[in-house]
């Protein structure tokens, strides 16, 4: 199972762009990269998923370099409500993402 490493915490201010980088050096060919957001006392919420290059949706962008050993979640113009823990996970789509392992996550604090 590919292990991920993220910064423990990050601080930002409202309106700024936040980039959270995740390292996954032993990612396998069939692995996809998925990011989740978790608020206190709630289950993780799916943000974005990608395999290579760049993926963008209405809330975030995901940048994946050619070697796929890292990925960067980009949150444009964060607000106070983006204060949460963000998890980067790597999993094998061929097994239906069996046994996803959560790392420590990145605790993002957005201040006024």
Partner 1 sequence: GAVVSQHPSWVICKSGTSVKIECRSLDFQATTMFWYRQFPKQSLMLMATSNEGSKATYEQGVEKDKFLINHASLTLSTLTVTSAHPEDSSFYICSARGGGALNSPLHFGNGTRLTVT
Binding region for partner 1 (CB under 8 A): 32, 34, 36, 41-46, 49, 51, 87, 91, 93-94, 96-105
Residue 1 CB, nearest distance to partner 1 (Å)?
10
Give the residue with the Cβ less far from partner 1, 29 or 42. 42
d(CA 2, CA 74): 22
Least Å from the CB of residue 16 to partner 1: 25
Is the CB of 31 or the CB of 82 nearer to partner 1? Answer: 31
Quick one: 13 or 51, whose CB is closer to partner 1? 51
At its nearest, how many Å lie between partner 1 and the CB of residue 14? 25
71 or 91: whose CB is closer to partner 1? 91
Residues 6 or more apart whose CB falls under 8 angstroms from that of 10 comprise 18, 20, 106, 107, 108, 109
């Amino acid at each position: 199972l590919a292990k991920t490493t993220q910064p423990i915490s990050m601080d930002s201010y409202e309106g700024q762009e936040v980039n959270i980088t995740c390292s996954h050096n032993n990612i396998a060919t069939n692995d996809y990269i998925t990011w989740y957001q978790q608020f206190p006392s709630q289950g993780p919420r799916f943000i974005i998923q990608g395999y290579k290059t760049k993926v963008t949706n209405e809330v975030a962008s995901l940048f994946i370099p050619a070697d796929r050993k890292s990925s960067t979640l980009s949150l444009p113009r964060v607000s106070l409500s983006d204060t949460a823990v963000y998890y980067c996970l790597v999993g094998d789509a061929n097994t239906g993402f069996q046994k996803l392992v959560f790392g420590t996550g990145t605790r993002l604090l957005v201040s006024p």
